[in-house]
């Protein structure tokens, strides 16, 4: 069943991508299963040791629900253990990659041991492993795929190894218990929404020597500080003034920042990407005279105009904002009060 669901998802995703749809936020994902009712699809106990070989890999599932995989190559989703309850996974040296969706929706998985030979973790590899509280990533790892650990609600901490160069789109999205993260100096790419709706995340640090990213007061920027990538949703500050050098607000940058009541954007702002303020209860002050370009659904309430908060803009620009896309995002646009 799980294999069929993944195949169907891939077909639909390709079709949507061809039609121009971009997705990763809550409304685009399938509904989350209730935590208290979470159970593996078609899960069944293992009364005896089960073992088999797939290509160059050998796997064994013990009676205590420990899955051990050995051999060489990449673990893909075409496995024979998906219908059994798996609580622990031990991957032996020689395995170099964990393929797309390999352990997607393993709701009872609590422990994973990874080898130093591992270099890549694929898309949705551990997505929705709801009981996984921590995982140690090997120093050999270089890439973390899109949605790789998304919806791992119990994941409280994770250390990204120094060798990682790429963190995929929404790789840690919806990790509600994750409280801090450090971006290694060697990372050159961070996909949009990498930490979307991490509501306990209070700081994002960047290791010294990074040529691509920087952090100020726990807020993630590109190296030049012209793009604000992510304001951690778990920060307790009630106000935030975006630095003057910032010209762009990234996708979902302030999403779910429930503590914020006021965000001030500088005169330098020229563009704000989609869902930048999604599920954020803050009012916004934009000092730019010319209304910045904005992406779809930048506002608090998603597809409908924000009726609860006010957009404050320069007095001479009120009508320009009202007659632009901002007028669809905020129903109340008024002059900044001196």
pLDDT at residue 190 is higher than 50: yes
Name the CATH topology of 236-338: 3.80.10
- Give me the residue spans of the domains in the chain: 1-11+38-100+108-117, 236-338
Tens digit of pLDDT for each residue in 151-183? 999 999 899 999 999 999 999 999 999 999 999
- d(CA 129, CA 117) in angstroms, rounded, equals 23
60: phi then psi, degrees, rounded to nearest 5: -140, 130
Largest CA distance in the chain: 76
Listed range (33-47, 206-220, 250-264) with the worst mean pLDDT? 33-47
What are the distances in angstroms from CA 186 to CA 162, 266, 332?
6, 30, 44
107: phi then psi, degrees, rounded to nearest 5: -65, -25
**Token code pair at residue 81:** 């253990």
Mean pLDDT, rounded, of the chain? 86
- d(CA 141, CA 163) in angstroms, rounded, equals 6
Tens digit of pLDDT for each residue in 317-327? 999 999 998 98
**Token code pair at residue 185:** 């100096």
Tens digit of pLDDT for each residue in 223-253? 999 999 999 999 999 999 999 999 999 999 9
Contact between residue 97 and residue 74 where contact means Cβ atoms under 8 Å apart: yes
230: which DSSP letter?
Answer: E
What are the distances in angstroms from CA 315 to CA 59, 170, 226, 319, 333?
68, 38, 26, 9, 10
- d(CA 149, CA 158) in angstroms, rounded, equals 10
Q: Which ranges of the chain would DSSP assign to H, the alpha helix? A: 2-18, 318-322, 326-329
């Amino acid at each position: 069943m799980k294999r069929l669901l993944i195949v169907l998802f891939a077909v639909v995703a390709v079709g949507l991508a061809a039609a121009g749809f971009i997705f990763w936020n809550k409304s685009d994902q399938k509904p989350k299963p209730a935590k208290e009712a979470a159970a593996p699809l078609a899960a069944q106990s293992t009364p005896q040791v089960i073992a088999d070989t797939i290509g160059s890999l050998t796997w064994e599932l013990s009676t205590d629900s420990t899955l051990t995989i050995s051999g060489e190559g990449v673990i893909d989703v075409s496995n024979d253990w998906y219908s059994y309850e798996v609580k622990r996974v031990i991957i032996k040296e020689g395995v170099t990659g964990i393929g797309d969706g390999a352990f997607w929706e393993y709701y009872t998985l609590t422990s994973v041991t990874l080898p130093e030979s591992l270099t890549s973790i694929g898309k949705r590899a551990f997505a929705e492993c709801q009981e996984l509280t921590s995982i140690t990533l090997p120093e050999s790892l270089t890439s973390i795929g899109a949605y790789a650990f998304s919806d791992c609600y119990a994941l409280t901490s994770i250390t990204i190894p120094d060798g990682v160069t790429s963190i995929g789109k929404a790789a840690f999205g919806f990790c509600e218990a994750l409280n801090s993260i450090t971006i290694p100096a060697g990372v050159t790419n961070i996909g949009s929404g990498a930490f979307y709706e991490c509501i306990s995340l209070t700081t994002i640090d960047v290791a010294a020597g990074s040529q691509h990213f920087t952090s100020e007061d726990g807020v993630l920027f590109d190296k030049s500080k012209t793009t604000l990538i992510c304001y951690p949703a778990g920060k307790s500050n009630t106000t935030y003034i975006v630095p003057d050098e910032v010209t762009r607000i990234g996708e979902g940058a302030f999403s779910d920042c429930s503590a914020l009541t006021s965000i001030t954007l500088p005169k330098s702002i020229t563009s704000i990407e989609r869902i930048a303020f999604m599920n954020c209860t803050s009012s916004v002050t934009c000092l730019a005279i010319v209304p910045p370009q904005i992406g779809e659904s930048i506002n608090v309430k998603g597809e409908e105009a924000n009726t609860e908060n006010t957009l404050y803009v320069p007095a001479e620009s009120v009508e320009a904002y009202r007659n632009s896309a901002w007028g669809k995002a905020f129903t109340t646009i008024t002059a900044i009060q001196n």
